[in-house]
Structure 1
Amino acid sequence: MMNKNTFNSVLKGVLEDNEKFASVIDRIIKAGVKLINSTEELKEELIGFEGIYQTYIEDANLNYWFKVSENQLEYQTGEHPEAPFKCYFKKQLFLKIMMRELSGTEEFLKGRLRVDGDLSQGLKYVKFHRLFFQYIQAKNGNNNH
């Protein structure tokens, strides 16, 4: 298990290489999905988040989506053709939001990230991603936020 500083250093250390960035983000997300799907308490947290959540990290050529259905979390890279809401980030902004250094909602209001689609699904997107990355950080010793 990594401590907070190691975890954050790994993330910031891959910003210059899109391939490494995509690989590290993919591994982090897969570990988080596995954790949530194998922990009953965490699976219960998925209640109310049913839907498809599409993310684009434009300057890394990385797209992925989550699907929450029947208290199970599915993750795939690429584009989901039925995603009702899409969020577009730059790498640096994505990492800062993921590490909870910035608020996705505030960055949206400042015009620093783009969204497309149903706003009610967008609110669920924000809450879901906050919850998801909060669990990942807690698992890696960063629970001071």
Structure 2
Amino acid sequence: MPHLVLLYTPDIELNANVPSLCRELADTMLSLRDEADRQVFPTGGTRVLAYPAAHAAVADGRGNYGFVYANLRMGTGRSGAVHKSVGDALLAALRRHLDPLLAQRPVGVTLQIDESPGQVFDAKHSSLHPLFTRS
């Protein structure tokens, strides 16, 4: 964790570089620091995944409407100030990539951040984390 998942209408790919957007969002997440100047998200646990919706209906269906939904799921323990800085930074990255598209046609963009305080099971098995853990 954290995992940022993008779900979007498939036509978004015609005018937006989704792989580049994913990389920028991940780099943004990795650049964030908390009040004690610690990295907010662990490098080995940061993931950005993007999926075009197999089927979609947006608004009234009478226009060339698109949609991008970004949901960040992260563990608990971060302050409200960190939540806001994460949201502001991710929204800025989304806007850098998607505002040109929004200027061409109607596209809705939603960013939602959820914490997972009610976990009943959380297991991790990874050979990624040791690559980024400093001794």
Establish whether TM, by shorter chain, passes 0.5.
Answer: no
Greater relative contact order structure (CA < 8 Å, 6+ sep)? 2
Larger Rg: 2
Please, what TM-score do these two structures have when normalized by structure 1?
A: 0.30
**What TM-score results when the alignment is normalised by the length of structure 2?**
0.32
